[in-house]
Amino acid sequence: DIQMTQSPSSLSASVGDRITITCQASQDINYRLNWYQQKVGKAPRRLIADASTLETGVSSRFSGSESETEFTLTISSLQPEDIGTYYCQQFDSLPVTFGGGTKVEI
């Protein structure tokens, strides 16, 4: 199985801060990575597909980038509505696997 090591596991930041979340894949996943945001009691919402493609309706303050097997989700200016847990997901190889999650607090 491909291991997705996500860091940090939690972070606390202020409104307006730029934050980054990283996922390290244990092998090449050909940019086949999604980023999800999950709020308490809700289903995850896909923010970014294929490492860097912003989903329709998602704020442009979210962005995704990649460097070989390291993937980054950036929130350029943290807003109160951004609190939640963020997950990366690789879908290059089966089984599909997820990072352990990053809980974002303000």
Question: Could you say whether residue 91 binds another protein (CB under 8 A)?
Answer: yes
To the nearest whole angstrom, how small is the minimum distance from the Cβ of residue 101 to another protein?
A: 5
Cβ nearer to another protein, comparing 3 with 77: 3
Q: Which stretch binds another protein (CB under 8 A): 19-27, 59-67, 68-76, 93-101?
A: 93-101
What is the Cα–Cα distance from 53 to 18, expressed in whole angstroms?
Answer: 19
C-alpha separations of 14 from 30, 67, 79 in Å: 34, 27, 8
To the nearest whole angstrom, how small is the minimum distance from the Cβ of residue 77 to another protein?
A: 24
C-alpha separations of 7 from 3, 21, 26, 38, 84 in Å: 13, 6, 14, 16, 15
Site for another protein in 30-89 (CB under 8 A): 34, 36, 42-46, 49, 55, 87, 89
What is the Cα–Cα distance from 14 to 28, expressed in whole angstroms?
Answer: 34
- Positions in the binding site for another protein (CB under 8 A): 1, 34, 36, 42-46, 49, 55, 87, 89, 91, 94-101
